């Protein structure tokens, strides 16, 4: 991969990271005080649950984005964490923080869906630290 390509991926990742770190309106929803009206209260509770789920997803994504930036620093960006093959550029353009090639991602997703532990999670945590 050329330096220009790597730089454009870095830019995309940094933009995404900043976006995630800035947080959205979701965060505000969690802090909202309970309203006087019962209906509003229920509505807020629902909003809060959705917001928490979103935050959870965002913090996971942030971790993945950070890990990808780390891989850029370590010059291992674009290499599948599992099979060590190059991740196709088309995939990286769609998902710059992709850690796996498509077939490994599918295998990981299947394992997660089945509730099996995924070894790579630990490496991931370390890389994102």
**Interface with Zn ion (CB under 5 A):** 80, 82-83, 101, 104
Distance CA 82, CA 104 (A): 7
Q: How far is the CB of 38 from Zn ion (least distance, A)?
A: 52
The nearer residue to Zn ion, 14 or 120, going by C-beta atoms, is 120
The nearer residue to Zn ion, 53 or 93, going by C-beta atoms, is 93
Nearest to 105 by CA among 97, 123, 62: 97
The nearer residue to Zn ion, 84 or 122, going by C-beta atoms, is 84
DSSP letters, 58-81, are: HHHHHHHHHHHHHHHHTT-TTB-T
Q: How far is the CB of 78 from Zn ion (least distance, A)?
A: 11
């Amino acid at each position: 991969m050329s330096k220009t390509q790597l730089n454009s991926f870095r830019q995309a990742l940094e933009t995404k990271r900043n976006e995630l770190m800035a947080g959205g309106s979701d965060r505000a929803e969690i802090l909202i005080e309970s309203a006087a009206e019962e209906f509003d209260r229920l509505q807020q509770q629902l909003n809060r649950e959705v917001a928490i789920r979103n935050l959870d997803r965002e913090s996971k994504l942030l971790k993945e984005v950070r890990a990808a930036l780390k891989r850029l620093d370590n010059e291992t960006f674009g290499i599948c964490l599992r099979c060590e093959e190059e991740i196709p550029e088309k995939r990286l353009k769609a998902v710059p923080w992709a850690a796996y090639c498509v077939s490994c991602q599918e295998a990981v997703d299947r394992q997660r869906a089945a509730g099996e532990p995924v070894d790579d999670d630990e490496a991931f945590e370390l890389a994102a630290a």
